Amino acid sequence: MSDLMNRITATFITDNRWEWFLRGLGFTLLISLFAVLLGLAIGILMALMRLSKNKILKFISGVYIDIIRGTPTMVQLLIIYFIIFAQVNIEPWIVGTIAFGINSGAYMAEIVRGGILSVSHGQTEAGRSLGMTQSQTMMSIIMPQAMKNIIPALGNEFIVLIKETAVIGMISNIDLVGAAKKVQSLTYDYLIPLLSIAVIYYVVIKILTIGLQKIENRLRKSDKR
């Protein structure tokens, strides 16, 4: 028991190493939040291009979605950091946000496209009957309803991103995994730091899952009214 306490003390208490984990959690959540917002913006654009009657726009969005979804996130991160931004002095967390945002955008595109298609075609006809153009109908009538439908999927994507950001350790030790690595290099104890970040990830994701369930329940209640 005393040995376990000593290992926990060495992991968190000595030299205020708990601050490393706290800072790592902050970067993990920061990257995930901005990445999901960037992914949503890209996803909306790609979904609209995918639904467009313009063959060139449909082709571009299709190629983007196919390539991003067909290659590993880690490979995309390494290409963006070591090749695209190789000559640019930029913070690793910003590169991570861009990489994960681009990756998320491909999945968001399909989520948004599904949300748009879930809206009754009668809504489009109603907008056109009011004298709205196709773009006005899309932005004023279709998209608000579609966004309401995809909120649960958006929350799930945020949760997935929190776990996926663990691979940012390939370019910088700024996240939770990076904090564990720094502790391991000093204590040579691999078990406690890894178990610690596993618990932290679990607690954070559990809290978000509960919050997401409450949001879904409220949306269901509003749909029944």
Q: CATH number, domain at 204?
A: 1.10.3720.10
pLDDT on residue 190: 87
Distances (CA, A) of 160 to 92, 101, 187: 20, 12, 30
CB 201 within 8 A of CB 176: yes
Question: Is the pTM higher than 0.95?
Answer: no
Mean pLDDT of each 10-residue bin along the chain, 225 residues long: 82 86 93 93 92 90 94 93 89 93 94 83 71 74 78 86 89 89 89 93 93 80 59
pLDDT on residue 222: 60
Q: How many domains does the chain have?
A: 1
Query: What is the domain extent for residue 62?
Result: 2-224
Q: CA geometry: angle at 136 spanning 135 and 141, to 5°?
A: 110
Alpha carbons 97 and 44: distance in angstroms, whole number: 18
